[in-house]
Amino acid sequence: MKISVAIAAYRGEKFIGEQLASIAAQTRVPDEVVICDDSPDHLTEKAVSAFRELLNIRYYRNTPALGVAGNFNKALALADGDLVFLCDQDDLWYPEKVAVMSKAVGDEELAAVFCDSDITDADCRPLNITHLESRGYGFLKNLPPGVWEGQFLHCCRRVPAAGHDMALTGKLLEKLLPIPEISACHDNFLGVAAAALDCWHIVPRPLGIFRRHDASASGAGKGVSLLSQLHEAVKSVQDDTFTWNVRLFRAVLETLPDLTPERKKLLAERIEFSEKRAEMNLPFFRRLPLIYAQWRCGNYSRFGRGWKNVIQDLFLR
């Protein structure tokens, strides 16, 4: 099995060396590391060059910059491994990550796998929470490794893994690429689309470090405290993530036109739920019937976070 690592870099000179060192220290060293760089200068390229003797690095500097989705599209398309790991420029991998995750997939052609990761601060000091826990998926840690049962409905609610914990087979990526030009959607799109095909395997333990810092492009791993959840709920309304979700799930439908009627129906219902929530920026008493209708048919529990989303729509608009 040929293994590739795909990195979409941007001003990564501060941390990318540590990440590449952790990749070079794998018990199963990847066959290639594809780095596509949106940086406006050569500092990231300089940091990468120090590892050319340790890793088979293919480096591409984008002029002009492609943006997050375009950068990942390019890196994933250029990677020609049988299994392709998505990789952030500022995290760290534990030595067994590649070996464990590649074993989980085996020789399946259309498959994907995700693991958990430990969340730390910028200096790698533990924050005593894992990524799955921060996403409300701590229960997955109690499941045995293997194919994730019920994955599609769960991912229609919320994708548990971020890109830095994912690996997908090259054959699966051929079906799913290109990632749509929707802000910050690459891991959510891949998560939902792979789940629609029942491709996800789980390795429910941390196999790396997710480093939280101000310059990180990922919004993942913000924690599970009530204060952090309140902040996330307010920001979700301000950013209109409901319309964002409509675009995301429509993109999955367009990418996978041969899904079963049942899968298409579920995606259509998920789109409608997000459309209804996008329409709720109304005076309190005018949006009450809309909220009640979604609560009565069970969509808040099926596609959202239950009573928390009801509170969000009642009081945070």
The token pair at 181 is 């030009």
pLDDT in tens, the chain (317 residues): 999 999 999 999 999 999 999 999 999 999 999 999 999 999 999 999 999 999 999 999 999 999 999 999 999 999 999 999 999 999 999 999 999 999 999 999 999 999 999 999 999 999 999 999 999 999 999 999 999 999 999 999 999 999 999 999 999 999 999 999 998 899 999 999 999 999 999 999 999 999 987 655 555 555 567 788 888 889 989 999 999 999 999 999 999 999 999 999 999 999 999 999 999 999 999 999 999 999 999 999 999 999 999 999 999 99
Assessment of whether the complete model's pTM goes beyond 0.85: yes
DSSP-assigned beta bridge partners for residue 119: 210
Do residues 134 and 117 make contact, with C-beta atoms less than 8 angstroms apart? no
H, E, C per residue of 28-51:
CCCCEEEEEECCCCCHHHHHHHCC
235 HSE (CA, 13 A, CB side)? 8
Cα–Cα distances in angstroms (integers) from residue 33 to residues 87, 88, 211, in the given order: 10, 12, 20
pLDDT at position 183: 87
Looking at residue 216, its pLDDT comes to 55
Identify the pLDDT of residue 228: 81
Q: For domain 3-211, give the CATH superfamily.
A: Spore Coat Polysaccharide Biosynthesis Protein SpsA; Chain A (3.90.550.10)
Domain boundaries, the chain: 3-211, 226-315
Distance CA 271, CA 281 (A): 17
Distance in angstroms (rounded) separating the CA atoms of residues 211 and 153: 29
